A and B are shown apart, each in its own frame.
Chain A
């Protein structure tokens, strides 16, 4: 049974901590998160394949599928809006990314498929949903832009941003380390329901 209260996790997130999390639980994150969208996933996998060193340490890290709106000011980068993008676009890349990077938590929205769920089970990773479209809310939890990489090459949305966050959430565990996949379960049930209503 999913717990109602929110669990606060500090980054990097130990894999042992993930054991107590079940699909449907709510968590929040304190510490560092890294943005990885389509292109950054591809680029990171290329780096790993060529045994090149990534500019960031992803061991037990938290990543977010996100392309923020950022603006450079005198005081440094300012984030205006930074919610998650549709995770399913990363489905064909996520398994490889998980295998190479040893990350602990993925934040996105819309849910992910079978291959990610399998990788979550095999490599002890949880996938969480942040309420989609809530970019201003997400930005309010970002305390600092610690760094940005690949900005010139990939552009603002696709670059690898490093954020310092406080109480980042709510994050709903959507795939747990047992590979239980909430959005898939709900979709299967919805299809059954609908086919019983419309013949």
Chain B
């Protein structure tokens, strides 16, 4: 495989993610629509489903905020294209910005100048994990500004309880109300360091909807937060209704004895993510 082919695959991944919402997310939104009792809530969810269809058919971005492109990469140390990966990623992002097209969301924080191509300092966000072997799996998460602005970190006291954490997360979901475009998917990172808590919270968004954490206590906490958030009545777009969150995913990291960081990251209903797996021998797979 050459640089150009790798670039093309990543371009396809970006285009797919931005225009075609994963079926599991669509199915959860449909379920939410069927549950909804309020006229406004139903209308909003119907429009959202209509929007998803239009974007799929016309291959246009689901949302005009095509987000910050966040790549989670697991690359084998012997992946034959390892020296070309970064270049292919950047070329693909630039091409996607022009051709999908994407909105350029890369603004210099000092001069306020937009680079125009979605490339800048630290952006696109690339998280690289080196694994064994010759394969490479690239996961893309596109996350808009409205939901990203509703991120939150709190350094808890290690003697604080899981109930305190639950209260913090639920109160935050209610306080964020309609701003992150509910019904949302909420990622929570408990433990690690301050930055890790937010990072694992973001990674938690990538777990398939409806799947619970393998640890019983964590899984129970997830269910309790989902139930409380949906009982709040914030509803679709904060205009009231039964579904405020489509799911809540918690990930845990080991913490320093003195620290208990908790990170909360919210993703709008337009949960745009996808994967491509490139094998060392050149085979390509598009996992769900």
Q: A residues engaging B (CB < 8 A)? A: 2, 4, 24, 26, 66-69, 71, 80-83, 85-86, 88, 109-111, 129, 131-140, 155-157, 170, 172, 174, 182-183, 186-187, 189-191, 193-194, 197-198
Contacts and interface: CB of A to CB of B under 8 A. Distances in A.
A133 B270 CA distance: 7
Interface stretch (B166-174, B191-199, B207-215, B278-286): B166-174
Contacts of A157: 103
A135 B62 contact: yes
13 contacts: A2-B39, A67-B103, A86-B145, A109-B146, A110-B179, A132-B146, A135-B55, A136-B54, A172-B40, A172-B43, A187-B234, A190-B233, A193-B233
A65 to B, nearest CB: 11
Interface string B41-75: 00110011011001100101111111000000000
A9 to B, nearest CB: 17
A86 B178 CA distance: 9
Contacts of A83: 51, 63-65
A138 B102 CA distance: 16
A83 B232 CA distance: 26
Contact of B237 (A88, A131, A155, A189): A131
A81 B62 contact: yes
B85 interface: no
A136 B55 contact: yes
Nearest to B271: A133
Contacts of B43: 26, 170, 172
Residue among B47, B104, B228, B235 facing the most chain A CB atoms (10 A cut-off): B47
A111 B44 CA distance: 14
Given A135-B61, A197-B228, A140 B54 contact: yes
Contacts of A85: 65, 145-146
B60 A80 contact: yes
A172 B61 contact: no
A198 B166 contact: yes
B44 to A, nearest CB: 5
A131 to B, nearest CB: 4
B213 to A, nearest CB: 21
A190 B234 contact: yes
Interface in B233-265: 233-240
Interface in B134-183: 144-146, 149, 163, 166-167, 170-171, 174-175, 177-181
Nearest to B47: A131
Nearest to A84: B64
A86 B63 CA distance: 13
Contacts of B149: 86
The main secondary structure of chain A at its interface with chain B is mixed
Contacts of B40: 2, 24, 26, 172
B234 A186 contact: yes
B240 A69 contact: no
A170 to B, nearest CB: 5
Contacts of B124: none
Contact of B238 (A26, A71, A111, A138): A111
Nearest to A172: B40
B145 to A, nearest CB: 8
Q: What 3 A-B pairs are tightest by C-beta distance, nearest first?
A: A137-B51, A134-B51, A135-B64
A83 B268 CA distance: 14
A155 B167 CA distance: 41
A182 B237 CA distance: 11
A191 B177 CA distance: 10
A132 B239 CA distance: 12
B104 A134 contact: no
B179 A88 contact: yes
Interface string B95-137: 0000001111000000000101000000000000000000000
Contacts of B170: 194, 198
A138 to B, nearest CB: 8
Contact of A172 (B44, B116, B167, B270): B44
